[in-house]
């Protein structure tokens, strides 16, 4: 089976459990940590044309729409898009959902969107460089690409400790494909997905080559109110779980150095 087909099959198999996990308040890293920080960074959304990349079943896509944006959500999982469309039929928020791979945004014209978001998903996209390049193409000049990812400096440590082992794969440098075992008790059914460890340099270089300049960089910490509401966030008070990056499409011709990158 082609690797991309394998990853898609994993998410299709996980869809029902994932929908329950997200929609019933069990994803406390999202609700108590990453979403508050990301939407603060996003700011005012009224009248903005927004693309939500790798939107899944549309949880955050709906938040974008409720805040006044005209939103399109794309994902490569047939089942997750089906769940998203079913919810849109109920809520009628004006969201358009499309079954599209994040690295193949050919359906959309260049310089079309004011903002592209990607919530904790870019690390799951194999051809992330192409995805970033496509994001830059569909963004207007001055448009923003805001995305969150697991913190690359700590994700391998978290993975190995979560599995109850420390191994030679506990390292930072070097891209690496790995399996995430979703086996928390709060899931209705356990599942596995594929993700990709990359360095911050890998992500920043992809942005740089697509003329997306990093403007802000956030390592979110839970507030006391969120800690009381979600006790499971205690473990990210001292070590960050994620990073949020805001980049801007700029109309500048860069000369790539002959050495270094």
- In the predicted structure, residue 254 carries a pLDDT above the cut 70: no
* pLDDT tens per residue across span 43-54: 999 999 999 999
Out of 127-131, 245-249, 253-257, which region has the weakest mean confidence (pLDDT)? 253-257
What does the alpha-carbon distance between residue 215 and residue 250 come to, in Å, rounded to a whole number? 11
Residues facing residue 73 across a β-bridge = 52, 97
Sort 50 into a burial class: Cβ within 10 Å, 0-12 / 13-18 / 19+: buried
Nearest Cα neighbor of 73 from 93, 56, 94, 97 is 97
User: Could you tell me the pLDDT band of residue 252, with boundaries at 50, 70 and 90?
Assistant: low
Stated pTM of the model: 0.91
What does the alpha-carbon distance between residue 161 and residue 9 come to, in Å, rounded to a whole number? 27
Give the SS3 label for residue 225: helix
Percent of the chain with pLDDT over 70: 90
* pLDDT tens per residue across span 178-234: 889 999 999 999 999 999 999 999 999 999 999 999 999 999 999 999 999 999 999
Please give the helix or strand (H or E) that residue 182 lies within, else none: strand 176-182
Three-class HEC string of 100-154: CCCCCCCCCCCCCEEEEEEECCHHHCCCHHHHHHHHHHHEEEEEEEEEEEECCCC
| pLDDT at position 159 | 46
- In the predicted structure, residue 257 carries a pLDDT above the cut 70: no
Nearest 10 degrees: CA dihedral of 173, 130, 103, 123?
10
User: Could you tell me the pLDDT band of residue 89, with boundaries at 50, 70 and 90?
Assistant: very high
- Domains located in the chain, CATH noted: 3-151+199-249 (3.40.50.150)
Paired tokens of 241:
């779980």
| pLDDT at position 4 | 78
Residues 226 and 237 sit within 8 Å (Cβ to Cβ)? no
Averaged pLDDT, 101-123: 97
User: Could you tell me the pLDDT band of residue 172, with boundaries at 50, 70 and 90?
Assistant: confident
| pLDDT at position 162 | 46
Nearest Cα neighbor of 121 from 163, 84, 75 is 75
């Amino acid at each position: 089976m082609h690797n991309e087909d394998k990853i898609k099959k994993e998410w299709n198999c996980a869809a029902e459990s994932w929908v329950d996990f997200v929609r019933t308040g069990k994803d406390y890293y999202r609700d108590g940590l990453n979403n508050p920080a990301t939407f603060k960074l996003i700011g005012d959304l009224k009248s903005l044309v927004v693309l939500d990349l790798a939107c899944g079943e549309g949880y955050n896509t709906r938040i974008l729409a409720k805040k006044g944006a005209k939103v399109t959500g794309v994902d490569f999982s047939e089942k997750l898009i089906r769940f998203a469309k079913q919810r849109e039929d109920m809520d009628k928020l004006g969201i358009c959902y499309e079954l599209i791979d994040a690295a193949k945004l050919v359906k959309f014209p260049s310089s079309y969107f004011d903002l592209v978001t990607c919530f904790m998903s870019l690390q799951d996209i194999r051809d992330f460089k192409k995805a970033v390049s496509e994001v830059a193409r569909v963004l207007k000049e001055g448009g923003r690409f805001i995305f969150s990812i697991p913190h690359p400096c700590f994700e391998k440590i978290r993975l190995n400790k979560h599995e109850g082992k420390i191994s030679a794969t506990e390292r930072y440098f070097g891209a690496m494909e790995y399996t995430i075992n979703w086996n928390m008790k709060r899931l209705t059914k356990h599942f596995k997905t594929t993700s990709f460890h990359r360095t911050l340099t890998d992500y920043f270089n992809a942005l740089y080559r697509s003329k997306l300049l990093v403007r802000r960089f956030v390592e979110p910490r839970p507030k006391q109110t969120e800690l009381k509401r979600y006790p499971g966030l205690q473990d990210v008070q001292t070590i960050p779980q994620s990073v949020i990056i805001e980049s801007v499409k700029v109309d500048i011709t860069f000369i790539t150095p002959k050495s270094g990158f």
